[in-house]
Amino acid sequence: MSNYEKIIPIVNKITKKYDLCDHCLGRLFSKQLHLTSNKLLGKKLNQKYVKKCYVCKNLFDNLDHFLKLMLDASTDYSFKTFSVGSMIKPSIVDRDDLIRSLYKLKGIDSIKADITKELGKLYSKKTKKIIDHLDPDITFTINLKDESCELYSKSITLSGRYVKSERGFFQKQKPCKNCSGKGCRVCDFHGITEFDSIEGAISKLLFKKFGGTTTKFTWIGGEDKSSLVLGNGRPFFVKIQNPNKRNAKLSNVTIDSIKINHLKLVYKSPQKPLKFNSTISARISAESEIDSKSLKKLKVLTDSPVVIYEKSGKRSAKKIFNVKSKKHSKNMFTLIIKAEGGLPIKRFVVGDDIVPGISKILDTPCVCVEFDFLEIKV
């Protein structure tokens, strides 16, 4: 006896008691018979006209309506792959479970899985997009209870560098006061309402090119509002949430005095802090008069790492590879150092829980008037 012949008695028992559409009937046996189309199998098994399906209440006859919702939702998005999820009424699931339980039918796709599969096939046929359940570009969530469709676009990540040739720009942008940066109607779901910082300038550029809601930055170090970032600039990574586009022509751009270079799409932001070295020029004012001989004492900084003590109790060490100094006046000089990234320059000059500090070595209180980044290497 073939597998098909074996299922006929069970099919007859089910259809005698319940009216099932071709999809719902075929789904109960398609895996057992190693068939891919529930509808075609159901059509073959059904021996009577079914006005209203006991399980889905003819939901499968209405899939074109949900397909239109998906097409409308994705109009402004460019992508290659997609997946479909759904939310259905618990009563439909209960009726489906009841039949499977009554007739001891195991290893069967749920009606929810069947609906999402059918919608995926319809959308793919209409748009030529590829179904990808593992890592889709966009994901549709169809709510069959209130007949709505939500679309989520997988984030994209870019890397780049910025050069800051004018003082007065903060690196980070203040978040929207209304939502604390989460995204709301007040900030057009960007998480920020102003674009007058490095973060703001880059975000504005990327929103224009890719669309999206919020941006999340990973900075390779930071600087003061009054600091310049010169040379090749400071590296950064930025994740764009819910982008409309996944590719765009990227070129070097200058916004005010901020130059954004080397923008490119990358797989993801670094999972661990990247090690980097910075060449820094610091303009320092000393309380007492400084002579050239005293400045030579600063060469000791290359002998052993500088130890940084944090208020939290944490301790870290930063190597200084090279030290140069230039005297400008009795109390003013410039210090150029190449050091491991993350050295807090102003604290280092004062000697605020940093050993050794500039003030300690020169034996006079010193303050950093301003400091600039000449080069940053990762």
pLDDT at 345 over 80: yes
CATH topology for the 277-377 domain: Alpha-Beta Plaits (3.30.70)
Segment 308-330 shows an average pLDDT of 94
At 348-359, the pLDDT tens digits run: 999 999 999 999
Q: Which of 211, 27, 237, 227 is nearest to 115 (CA)?
A: 27
Domain 156-266 architecture: 2-Layer Sandwich (3.30)
What's the pTM? 0.87
Give the pLDDT confidence score for residue 299 in this predicted structure: 95
- The DSSP output letter for 302 is G
Tell me the CATH number for domain 3-153: 3.30.2300.10
- The DSSP output letter for 187 is T
Looking up tokens 């409309």 gives 244
Report the share of the chain in percent with pLDDT over 90: 88
Segment 49-78 shows an average pLDDT of 95
pLDDT band at 1; cut points 50, 70, 90:
low
At 239-279, the pLDDT tens digits run: 999 999 999 999 999 998 999 999 999 998 998 889 999 99
pLDDT band at 230; cut points 50, 70, 90:
very high
Give the active site residues: 224
pLDDT at 76 over 70: yes
pLDDT at 196 over 70: yes
Reduce the DSSP state of residue 340 to 3 states and report it. strand
Segment 133-147 shows an average pLDDT of 95
Where would I find the beta strands (DSSP E) of the chain?
81-87, 130-131, 138-143, 148-153, 156-164, 215-219, 229-240, 253-255, 258-266, 277-286, 306-309, 315-318, 320-327, 332-340, 354-355, 366-377
Which residues make beta-bridge pairs with 352?
none
Give the pLDDT confidence score for residue 256 in this predicted structure: 87
At 150-192, the pLDDT tens digits run: 999 999 999 999 999 999 999 999 999 999 999 999 999 999 9
Domain boundaries, the chain: 3-153, 156-266, 277-377
Do domains 3-153 and 156-266 share one topology? The answer is: no
